[in-house]
Amino acid sequence: MNIWKVIDNEGYNNAYLIDQNGKQHFDPASDFKEIKEDPSTRLLKIEMTDKGYPDIMNYWGTFGTVIVNSKVKALIERYYGTLQTQFLPCICSNSQDTQLWIWNVCEYHDVLDIENSICDRIINLQGKEAIKSVDKYVFKKEAFDLDLFKIYLEERKYTTYLFVTDRFKRLMEENNVTGLALEKVYSI
Protein backbone atom coordinates (compact mmCIF):
# COMPACT_ATOMS: atom_id res chain seq x y z
CA MET A 1 0.00 0.00 0.00
CA ASN A 2 1.30 3.42 -1.00
CA ILE A 3 0.70 7.09 -0.38
CA TRP A 4 1.47 9.48 -3.20
CA LYS A 5 1.64 13.26 -3.44
CA VAL A 6 0.35 15.09 -6.49
CA ILE A 7 3.23 16.85 -8.27
CA ASP A 8 3.79 18.97 -11.39
CA ASN A 9 2.81 17.14 -14.56
CA GLU A 10 5.73 17.52 -16.94
CA GLY A 11 4.92 17.99 -20.61
CA TYR A 12 1.80 20.04 -19.95
CA ASN A 13 1.89 23.77 -19.36
CA ASN A 14 0.47 25.00 -16.11
CA ALA A 15 -2.68 27.06 -16.01
CA TYR A 16 -2.57 30.44 -14.33
CA LEU A 17 -5.03 33.19 -13.47
CA ILE A 18 -5.21 36.32 -15.58
CA ASP A 19 -6.97 39.60 -14.96
CA GLN A 20 -9.31 41.33 -17.42
CA ASN A 21 -6.25 42.82 -19.19
CA GLY A 22 -4.70 39.38 -19.77
CA LYS A 23 -1.92 39.89 -17.21
CA GLN A 24 -0.98 37.12 -14.78
CA HIS A 25 -2.80 37.40 -11.46
CA PHE A 26 -1.73 35.83 -8.17
CA ASP A 27 -4.31 34.75 -5.62
CA PRO A 28 -3.05 34.64 -2.05
CA ALA A 29 -2.79 31.13 -0.59
CA SER A 30 -5.62 32.04 1.79
CA ASP A 31 -7.99 31.98 -1.19
CA PHE A 32 -7.74 28.20 -1.25
CA LYS A 33 -8.73 27.38 2.34
CA GLU A 34 -12.47 27.55 1.72
CA ILE A 35 -13.81 29.89 -0.92
CA LYS A 36 -17.26 31.33 -0.36
CA GLU A 37 -17.68 33.61 -3.36
CA ASP A 38 -20.77 33.57 -5.52
CA PRO A 39 -20.02 33.26 -8.36
CA SER A 40 -16.52 31.95 -7.74
CA THR A 41 -15.42 31.89 -11.38
CA ARG A 42 -11.73 32.28 -12.22
CA LEU A 43 -10.34 33.37 -15.61
CA LEU A 44 -7.44 31.17 -16.72
CA LYS A 45 -4.81 31.27 -19.42
CA ILE A 46 -3.70 27.82 -20.54
CA GLU A 47 -1.13 27.42 -23.25
CA MET A 48 -1.86 24.47 -25.53
CA THR A 49 0.98 21.97 -25.90
CA ASP A 50 1.34 19.22 -28.48
CA LYS A 51 -0.32 16.88 -25.96
CA GLY A 52 -3.42 19.07 -25.79
CA TYR A 53 -5.28 19.73 -22.56
CA PRO A 54 -4.88 17.01 -19.94
CA ASP A 55 -7.78 15.90 -17.74
CA ILE A 56 -5.85 17.13 -14.68
CA MET A 57 -3.41 20.04 -14.81
CA ASN A 58 -1.40 22.12 -12.38
CA TYR A 59 -2.68 25.36 -10.99
CA TRP A 60 0.40 27.55 -11.29
CA GLY A 61 2.03 28.39 -7.97
CA THR A 62 -0.29 26.37 -5.74
CA PHE A 63 0.86 22.74 -5.52
CA GLY A 64 -2.07 21.35 -3.54
CA THR A 65 -4.63 22.71 -5.97
CA VAL A 66 -5.23 21.31 -9.43
CA ILE A 67 -7.52 22.06 -12.34
CA VAL A 68 -9.79 19.32 -13.63
CA ASN A 69 -12.10 18.88 -16.59
CA SER A 70 -15.70 17.59 -16.62
CA LYS A 71 -14.59 13.95 -16.78
CA VAL A 72 -12.52 14.14 -13.59
CA LYS A 73 -15.07 16.33 -11.82
CA ALA A 74 -17.76 13.70 -12.49
CA LEU A 75 -15.51 10.89 -11.20
CA ILE A 76 -14.68 12.77 -8.01
CA GLU A 77 -18.31 13.69 -7.38
CA ARG A 78 -19.39 10.10 -7.99
CA TYR A 79 -16.80 8.40 -5.79
CA TYR A 80 -15.94 11.13 -3.28
CA GLY A 81 -19.07 13.27 -3.13
CA THR A 82 -19.19 13.24 0.68
CA LEU A 83 -15.68 14.65 1.14
CA GLN A 84 -14.96 18.32 1.76
CA THR A 85 -14.04 19.50 -1.71
CA GLN A 86 -15.00 22.46 -3.83
CA PHE A 87 -15.13 22.86 -7.60
CA LEU A 88 -14.63 26.48 -8.62
CA PRO A 89 -15.61 27.09 -12.25
CA CYS A 90 -12.93 28.46 -14.57
CA ILE A 91 -13.12 30.12 -17.94
CA CYS A 92 -10.15 29.38 -20.17
CA SER A 93 -9.34 32.59 -22.05
CA ASN A 94 -8.14 30.79 -25.17
CA SER A 95 -10.79 28.04 -25.22
CA GLN A 96 -13.95 29.42 -23.65
CA ASP A 97 -16.06 26.36 -24.40
CA THR A 98 -13.74 24.05 -22.40
CA GLN A 99 -15.32 23.35 -19.01
CA LEU A 100 -12.69 23.43 -16.25
CA TRP A 101 -12.76 23.68 -12.47
CA ILE A 102 -10.20 24.46 -9.80
CA TRP A 103 -10.47 21.47 -7.48
CA ASN A 104 -10.02 22.77 -3.95
CA VAL A 105 -9.61 19.92 -1.46
CA CYS A 106 -10.48 20.95 2.11
CA GLU A 107 -10.22 17.41 3.50
CA TYR A 108 -7.54 17.65 6.24
CA HIS A 109 -6.54 14.75 8.48
CA ASP A 110 -4.08 14.36 11.34
CA VAL A 111 -2.38 11.32 9.79
CA LEU A 112 1.26 12.40 9.59
CA ASP A 113 3.49 10.58 12.09
CA ILE A 114 5.49 13.65 13.05
CA GLU A 115 7.75 11.76 15.46
CA ASN A 116 9.07 9.51 12.68
CA SER A 117 8.89 11.95 9.76
CA ILE A 118 11.86 14.16 8.92
CA CYS A 119 10.75 17.78 9.12
CA ASP A 120 12.41 21.17 8.65
CA ARG A 121 11.65 23.41 11.59
CA ILE A 122 11.76 27.18 12.01
CA ILE A 123 11.04 29.70 14.73
CA ASN A 124 7.77 31.40 13.80
CA LEU A 125 6.77 35.03 14.39
CA GLN A 126 5.41 34.11 17.81
CA GLY A 127 8.86 32.79 18.80
CA LYS A 128 7.72 29.16 18.81
CA GLU A 129 9.26 26.27 16.94
CA ALA A 130 7.08 25.17 14.01
CA ILE A 131 7.35 22.73 11.13
CA LYS A 132 8.15 24.52 7.88
CA SER A 133 8.17 21.51 5.54
CA VAL A 134 8.54 17.73 5.42
CA ASP A 135 11.57 16.04 3.84
CA LYS A 136 10.52 12.44 4.56
CA TYR A 137 6.91 11.47 5.19
CA VAL A 138 5.84 8.73 7.58
CA PHE A 139 2.10 8.25 7.88
CA LYS A 140 -0.09 6.76 10.58
CA LYS A 141 -1.98 3.59 9.71
CA GLU A 142 -5.26 5.55 9.44
CA ALA A 143 -3.96 7.36 6.34
CA PHE A 144 -4.47 4.17 4.34
CA ASP A 145 -8.21 4.29 5.11
CA LEU A 146 -8.41 7.51 3.06
CA ASP A 147 -8.28 7.92 -0.71
CA LEU A 148 -7.34 11.61 -0.90
CA PHE A 149 -6.43 14.13 1.76
CA LYS A 150 -4.31 17.01 2.95
CA ILE A 151 -2.50 16.95 6.27
CA TYR A 152 -1.91 18.96 9.41
CA LEU A 153 1.60 19.93 10.45
CA GLU A 154 0.97 20.00 14.17
CA GLU A 155 -1.92 22.50 14.46
CA ARG A 156 -1.39 24.14 11.05
CA LYS A 157 -3.14 23.06 7.85
CA TYR A 158 -0.49 22.06 5.30
CA THR A 159 -1.96 23.33 2.04
CA THR A 160 1.13 22.64 -0.07
CA TYR A 161 0.37 19.09 -1.22
CA LEU A 162 -2.57 16.86 -1.98
CA PHE A 163 -1.99 13.21 -1.03
CA VAL A 164 -3.70 10.17 -2.52
CA THR A 165 -3.60 6.43 -1.91
CA ASP A 166 -3.46 3.54 -4.36
CA ARG A 167 -7.28 3.43 -4.57
CA PHE A 168 -7.47 6.96 -5.99
CA LYS A 169 -4.55 6.30 -8.34
CA ARG A 170 -6.19 3.11 -9.61
CA LEU A 171 -9.54 4.87 -10.18
CA MET A 172 -7.82 7.52 -12.30
CA GLU A 173 -5.87 4.89 -14.27
CA GLU A 174 -8.95 2.72 -14.88
CA ASN A 175 -10.72 5.78 -16.31
CA ASN A 176 -7.77 6.80 -18.52
CA VAL A 177 -7.32 10.16 -16.80
CA THR A 178 -4.43 12.11 -18.31
CA GLY A 179 -2.11 14.61 -16.65
CA LEU A 180 -2.05 13.17 -13.12
CA ALA A 181 1.56 13.10 -11.92
CA LEU A 182 2.36 11.42 -8.62
CA GLU A 183 5.41 10.87 -6.45
CA LYS A 184 5.41 7.94 -4.03
CA VAL A 185 6.18 9.30 -0.57
CA TYR A 186 5.38 6.36 1.73
CA SER A 187 4.77 2.62 1.56
CA ILE A 188 3.94 -0.15 4.01
Residue type at position 154: E
Give me the number of domains the chain comprises.
Answer: 1
Q: How far does Cα 31 stand from its chain's mean position?
A: 13
Q: Is residue 37 part of a domain?
A: yes
Q: Is residue 162 part of a domain?
A: yes
Q: Is residue 168 part of a domain?
A: yes
Domain assignment of residue 49, given as a range = 2-108+158-187
Q: Is residue 100 part of a domain?
A: yes
Task: Say which residues have a Cβ less than 8 Å from residue 57's Cβ, sequence separation at least 6.
Answer: 9, 12, 13, 14, 15, 46, 66, 67, 179
At 5 the pLDDT is: 93
Quote the pTM value: 0.80
Q: Is residue 125 part of a domain?
A: no
Q: Which residues of 73-106 are buried (b: 16+ CB within 10 A; e: fewer)?
A: bebbeeebeeeebebbebebeeeeeeebbbbbbe
Residue-wise pLDDT for 41-82, tens only, equals 556 556 556 666 788 887 655 555 788 999 999 999 999 988
At 33 the pLDDT is: 45
At 34 the pLDDT is: 46
**Mean pLDDT along residues 157-184:** 93
3-class DSSP state of 80: helix
At 11 the pLDDT is: 55
Q: Is residue 96 part of a domain?
A: yes
Is 19 a residue whose pLDDT tops 70?
no
How wide is the angle at C-alpha 91 spanned by C-alphas 87 and 97, nearest 5°? 110
Q: Is residue 84 part of a domain?
A: yes
C-beta of residue 186 within 8 angstroms of C-beta of residue 6: no
What order do you get walking across the sheet with 108-109 strand by strand? 108-109, 148-153, 156-165, 2-6, 182-187
Is 143 a residue whose pLDDT tops 50?
yes
Q: Is residue 144 part of a domain?
A: no
